[in-house]
C-alpha cells in the first residue's frame, strides 16, 4: 500500500486481498479457493493481478491491477 496508495482508496474496508500471478494459474486458482473458504458473510474479495515479483525491497509487484470480485 505504501508503494501503490491509489489501491488503498479502492479496497473496501474489511475486504480480503488475494494476489494472482500472471503466469501461474494453479497458484491463482488455489489462492481464490482459499479466499472463498475464509470469506465471511458479505465480505468482499479483492484480487490484485500482477505480472510477477522483483527483488527490489520497496515493492516486488510488477504492474499490479486491482479487481473487485
pLDDT tens by residue, 15-49:
999 999 999 999 999 999 999 999 999 999 999 99
Output the pTM of the full model: 0.68
For residue 65, what pLDDT is reported?
A: 82
Beta carbons of 63 and 48 less than 8 angstroms apart? no
Mean pLDDT in residue range 40-67: 81
Report the alpha-carbon distance of residue 35 to residue 39 in Å, rounded: 6
Assign residue 14 a region: left if phi > 0, alpha if psi is -120 to 50, beta otherwise? left
For residue 68, what pLDDT is reported?
A: 76
Q: Residue 52: pLDDT above 80?
A: no
Q: 52 or 44, which is more confident?
A: 44
Report the alpha-carbon distance of residue 36 to residue 16 in Å, rounded: 9
Amino acid at each position: 500500500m505504501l508503494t501503490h496508495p491509489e489501491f488503498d482508496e479502492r479496497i473496501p474496508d474489511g475486504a480480503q486481498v488475494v494476489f494472482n500471478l500472471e503466469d501461474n494459474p494453479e497458484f491463482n486458482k488455489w489462492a481464490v479457493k482459499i479466499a472463498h473458504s475464509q470469506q465471511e458473510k458479505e465480505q468482499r474479495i479483492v484480487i490484485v493481478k500482477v505480472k510477477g515479483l522483483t527483488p527490489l525491497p520497496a515493492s516486488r509487484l510488477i504492474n499490479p491491477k486491482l479487481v473487485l470480485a
